[in-house]
């Protein structure tokens, strides 16, 4: 019997992957699904578990020192995955592999293809473009082989697909390229709200995400402070981290009284309420593969502002998604000012139609091009 193999080094950090694999296991329920997860932190082992009779997760620890030796790391992981697979009686010549990153996971899939003729497809992520494609010149022959040997090359965003096409070494794989976005959790589709921006009694700007340098929190705070200097009819809330982390990232001692900092919300219903109370979600990340928070916010009638050429850019052209230069504070302030007063309405049924492309059922059907 053939097996579906998922090589996913970000399995512990992204619930979207586990939800997708679980849904795939239900569609292809007569086949075993094996997930191999490389970890450089032993505390992450068994962090993410899926309860299913035909899903088997194998966590593989490898010391973080090997990140400086990517080829050696990939060979070690290939051997360890092969040994784990032999215990599971996986027939690699009949298996199909889905690699969740082009380099870190894709190179391992390539080894199985070269040794056992295993069919595989790969995703391209922001890390691939910003690090391995850009700086690791010595890896180009292997990157080229991954491109040539893969069945499909999947892109979670149109931005990644656009940038990938700029690399001439990949020009022969154009027919393999498939836009395959992340699916939005069904909870948000079941609870789609509507747009009626001016009906909101108290104007509010929202940030949702991890508190780290990539999320560009200082730009959010500074653009809103700039806006607050000439209009004080709104509040700003940051959700996703501690007050201490917020102060360190924004390099401030005191938080303005019109700014609220909230720890990460684990309850979707609480987050849903926050979106519905807000006019605008502002997350100007420097790098963003997709950004599920944008779709969540849109589903609840909230404008979204994101960085140009990142995340969901180019996906929508309908009045609720806007791109900006994440370094330009004045540009962000001007757009915030405009959107707070924008008269925009969209009923829930129309909004749900806009988002149905990202439903789990639609996305799982797109995967069938590889698995069928």
Is the domain covering 186-357 a CATH 3.40.50.300 domain?
no
* pLDDT the model gives residue 319: 86
So where are the chain's domains?
A: 3-180, 186-357
Q: Check if 3-180 and 186-357 are the same fold.
A: yes
Query: Whose CA is closest to 52, among 2, 4, 110?
Result: 4
DSSP 17: H
Architecture of domain 3-180: 3-Layer(aba) Sandwich (3.40)
pLDDT at residue 52 in the model: 87
Pairing of the two strands 119-123 and 153-155: parallel
pLDDT, one tens digit per residue, over 96-140 is 999 999 999 999 999 999 999 999 999 999 999 989 988 888 899
Per-position DSSP letters for 240-264, written without gaps between them: SS-HHHHHHHHT-SS--TTEEEEPP
The predicted pLDDT at position 1 comes to: 56
Express each pLDDT in 177-188 by its tens digit. Answer: 999 998 898 999
Give pLDDT < 70 ranges for the chain.
Answer: 1, 13
């Amino acid at each position: 019997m053939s097996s579906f193999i998922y090589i996913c080094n970000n399995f512990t950090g992204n619930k979207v992957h586990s939800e997708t694999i679980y849904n795939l296991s239900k569609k292809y329920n007569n086949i075993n699904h094996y997930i191999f997860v490389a970890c450089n932190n032993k505390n992450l082992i068994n962090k993410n578990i899926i309860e299913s009779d035909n899903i088997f997760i194998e966590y593989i620890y490898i010391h973080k020192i090997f990140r400086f030796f990517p080829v050696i790391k990939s060979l070690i992981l290939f051997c360890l995955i092969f040994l784990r697979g032999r215990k599971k009686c996986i027939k690699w010549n009949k298996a199909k592999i889905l690699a969740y990153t082009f380099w870190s996971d894709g190179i391992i899939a390539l080894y199985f293809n070269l040794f056992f003729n295993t069919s595989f497809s790969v995703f391209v992520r922001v890390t691939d473009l910003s690090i391995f494609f850009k700086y690791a010149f010595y890896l180009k022959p292997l990157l080229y082989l991954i491109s040539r040997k893969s069945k499909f090359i999947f892109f979670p965003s149109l931005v990644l697909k656009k940038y990938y096409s700029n690399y001439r070494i990949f020009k022969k794989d154009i027919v393999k390229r498939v836009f395959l976005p992340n699916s939005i959790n069904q909870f948000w589709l079941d609870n789609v709200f509507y747009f009626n921006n001016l009906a909101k009694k108290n104007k509010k700007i929202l940030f949702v995400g991890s508190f780290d340098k990539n999320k560009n929190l200082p730009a959010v705070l500074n653009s809103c402070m700039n806006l607050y200097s000439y209009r004080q009819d709104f509040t700003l809330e940051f959700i996703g981290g501690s007050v201490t982390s917020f102060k360190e990232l924004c390099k401030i001692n005191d938080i303005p009284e019109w700014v609220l900092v909230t720890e990460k919300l684990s309850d979707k219903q609480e987050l849903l309420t926050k979106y519905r109370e807000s006019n605008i979600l502002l997350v100007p990340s420097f790098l963003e593969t997709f950004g599920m928070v944008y779709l969540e916010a849109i589903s609840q009638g909230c404008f979204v502002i994101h960085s140009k050429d990142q995340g969901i850019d180019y996906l929508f052209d309908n009045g609720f998604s806007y791109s900006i230069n994440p370094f330009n504070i004045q540009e962000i302030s001007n757009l915030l000012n405009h959107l707070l007063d924008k008269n925009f309405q969209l009923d829930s049924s129309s909004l749900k139609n806009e988002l149905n492309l990202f439903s789990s059922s639609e996305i799982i059907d797109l995967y069938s091009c590889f698995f069928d």
